[in-house]
Amino acid sequence: MGKYFQEEIETASREQITQWHEDGLKDVVKRVYENVPFYRKKMEEAGVTPDDIQSLDDIVKLPFLTKDDLRDAYPYGLLALPLSECVRIQSTSGTTGKRVVDFYTQKDLDNWANGCARAIVAAGGDKDDVCHVCYGYGLFTGGPGLNDGSHKVGCLTLPMSSGNTDRQLQFMVDLGATILCCTPSYAAYLAESIHERGLRDKIKLKAGIFGAEAWSEEMRNDIQEKLGIKAYDIYGLTEIEGPGVSFECQEQAGMHICEDLFIPEIVDPETLEPVPDGQVGELVFTSFAKEAFPLIRYRTKDITYITHEKCKCGRTHARIHRLMGRTDDMLIIKGVNVYPSQVEEVLIKKGMPANYQLIVDRVHNSDTLEVKVEMTPELFAETDEAKAKKQKELISALKSMLGIYAEVTLVEPKSITRSEGKAVRVIDNRKI
Ligand code: DLL
C-alpha cells in the first residue's frame, strides 16, 4: 500500500472538492427538509428552503445547529432515515444530563472506518503493522473507530480498550505492537510505565495516533522522545462521526479534514460570521455524506484555524491547526482567559510531568488558581530548598504565560489520579 489509503479522494483537486461540497450540501438540505420535522421548522424560522441553496456560498443562509438542539431533539428527533435503516449508535456526554447520541447506517460506518484508515496510513501504517487500540470501546467512539480503521488497512488489531496497564504492556511487548492508539495523557502514562519497568528496548512501537483531548506540541515532543516514535494528532467528535474527521500526516503540520464527507467552516464565535484562513475561530461542520444523522452547520465549540495551503504530503484536503481549546473549557480567572494547555506548556518546558490539575476557587469575591503539579521522582528526592526553588520558578513562568498569579503546589509523583480516558484537568469550585 502506498502512502495514502484512498489516493484519488485524498489528493482530489480543489474544483472536485468544491463540487462534492456543493452537491452534498444541496442533497443534505433537501433530505432533512423533507424527512426531519425538527430541521424543517428551523429552516422555516430562518426563512430558507432547499431552493435557496444553489451554491456552496449559500451555506451562510442556513441556521446553525448547537448541542442544545441535539439535547432538544434527543433521542430520535434528528434522524433522517427510519430507525430500521440504522445499524449502530455511539454516544458521548452532553452539556446537561442527556447524552449525545449519533446513529449510523452501514454506509456511515464504512465512511467512518475509511477516515480512521486514512489516519493510520498517514501515520505510516500498512497491513504488516500491529495496531494496539487502547481508546475505550463501547459507547465512546475512540475504540470502535480506530479498530475498524485498522481492519480496513489490514493491520493485526489488538482491541485492548482502556485500563489494566500491566496487560497493555504485556501485549505490547509480546505481540510486538507497532502503532499505539490512545489519548495523549494515557500515552504519556504508558511511556512513564515503560521506562520504570525497563521495557524501552522491548517495545517495537513506531507511531502513535493520539487524540480526544487537547495536548501541546511540548507534550508531543516529550512522548516522541520517551517512546522513540512519531506521535500524530487525530480529531473528531461523536456528533459528526467520531475520530478521523481530521488527522495528521507525516508532515505533522495540521490535521487534514476528510473533505469528501464534511464541509468545514471557521466562524467568529461572537458574531457567527465566517472568518478567513489563518484566523482563529470556532470550527463548524456540515456532515453532508451522513445518511442516518447528518448535521448542518454544527457548532463544535472547538477553537482552531484552517488552511487550504498545499501540504507537502500531497493531500489536498484542508488542514486545521492543533486544537487551541474550546469556547467552553476556556476558564476566565480574574477576567483573564486561561487555557489548561497553556499551563501544560509551561510545565513541560520546565521539565515537569504533564500530570497536573487546575483548581479554581473564589475567596472573598476574588478568583484563585492553584496548579497542582506532580514532581519527578528526582525532584521528590531533592531537599526542601530545591523544591521551594522549583516552585518559585514555576510560579514566575506561569505568571508570564497566563498574566495572573497561580499558587503552585508540588505533590508526590503519581498522586494525581491517572485517567484511562480523558484526563480531568480542571476542578472549578466557584459558584458563579
Ligand atoms: O473524543 C472522538 C475521538 C476519539 C477523537 C479518539 C480522537 C480520538 P467526543 O467524546 O464526542 O469524541 O469528544 C469530542 O473532544 O469536540 C474536542 O473538544 C475534543 N477532541 C477530540 N479530539 C481532539 C484533539 C471524541 N485531537 C471533543 N485535540 C471535541 C483536542 C480533541 N481536542
Q: Which residues pair with 243 in a beta bridge?
A: 236
pTM reported for the whole predicted model: 0.85
pLDDT value at 188 more than 70: yes
- Show contacts of 398-402: CB within 8 Å, 24+ apart: 398/343, 398/346, 398/371, 401/342, 401/343, 401/345, 401/346, 402/336, 402/338, 402/342, 402/343, 402/369
pLDDT at 337: 67
pLDDT at 385: 96
pLDDT tens digits, 99-139: 789 999 999 999 999 999 999 999 999 999 999 999 999 99
- Kindly give the distance from the C-alpha atom of residue 200 to the centroid of ligand 1, in angstroms, as a whole number: 29
Highest mean pLDDT among 12-26, 90-104, 177-191, 360-374: 12-26
Mean pLDDT over the full length of the chain:
93
- Indicate the burial class of 92 (C-beta count within 10 angstroms; 0-12, 13-18, 19 or more): middle
In this structure, the residue with its CA closest to atom 15 of ligand 1 is 212
For the CA of 146, the closest atom of ligand 1 is 6
Query: Ligand 1 pocket, 115 CB below 6 A?
Result: no
**Residue bearing the bigger pLDDT, 216 or 371:** 371
pLDDT at 354: 84
- Kindly give the distance from the C-alpha atom of residue 210 to the centroid of ligand 1, in angstroms, as a whole number: 10
pLDDT tens digits, 237-272: 999 999 999 999 999 999 999 999 999 999 999 999
The total number of residues shown for the chain amounts to 432
User: Band of the pLDDT at 431, cuts 50, 70, 90?
Assistant: low
Average pLDDT of the residues in 60-69: 94
- Kindly give the distance from the C-alpha atom of residue 114 to the centroid of ligand 1, in angstroms, as a whole number: 18
Query: Ligand 1 pocket, 323 CB below 6 A?
Result: yes
Average pLDDT of the residues in 190-213: 95
For the CA of 422, the closest atom of ligand 1 is 1
- Kindly give the distance from the C-alpha atom of residue 323 to the centroid of ligand 1, in angstroms, as a whole number: 9
- Kindly give the distance from the C-alpha atom of residue 356 to the centroid of ligand 1, in angstroms, as a whole number: 20
Query: Ligand 1 pocket, 235 CB below 6 A?
Result: yes
pLDDT at 96: 44
pLDDT at 389: 97
* b/e 128-164 (16+ beta carbons within 10 angstroms → b): ebbbbbbbbbebbbbbbbbbbbbbbbbbbbbbbbbee
Q: Rounded distance, CA 219 to CA 231, Å? A: 10
pLDDT at 339: 78
pLDDT value at 370 more than 60: yes
Q: Which of 205, 210, 204, 189 is nearest to 252 (CA)?
A: 210
Pick from 102, 139, 237 the residue to mutate for probing ligand 1's pocket: most ligand atoms within 8 Å of its CB. 237
In this structure, the residue with its CA closest to atom 12 of ligand 1 is 237
- Kindly give the distance from the C-alpha atom of residue 393 to the centroid of ligand 1, in angstroms, as a whole number: 33
Highest mean pLDDT among 2-11, 277-286, 347-356, 422-431: 277-286
Residue 278, phi-psi category: left (phi > 0), alpha (psi -120 to 50), beta (remainder): left
For the CA of 329, the closest atom of ligand 1 is 18
- In Å, how far are 31, 106, 118, 119, 162 from 122, measured between CA atoms? 33, 24, 6, 5, 24
pLDDT at 326: 80
User: Band of the pLDDT at 1, cuts 50, 70, 90?
Assistant: very low
- Reading the block at residue 403, the C-alpha cell is 498574566
CB neighbourhood size of 116 (10 A): 34
Q: Rounded distance, CA 26 to CA 171, Å? A: 48
Q: Rounded distance, CA 167 to CA 140, Å? A: 21
- Kindly give the distance from the C-alpha atom of residue 14 to the centroid of ligand 1, in angstroms, as a whole number: 27
pLDDT value at 97 more than 70: no
Q: Rounded distance, CA 45 to CA 390, Å? A: 58
**What value does the CA radius of gyration of the chain take, rounded to a whole number of Å?**
22
- Reading the block at residue 260, the C-alpha cell is 469528501
Average pLDDT of the residues in 48-63: 98
In this structure, the residue with its CA closest to atom 14 of ligand 1 is 237
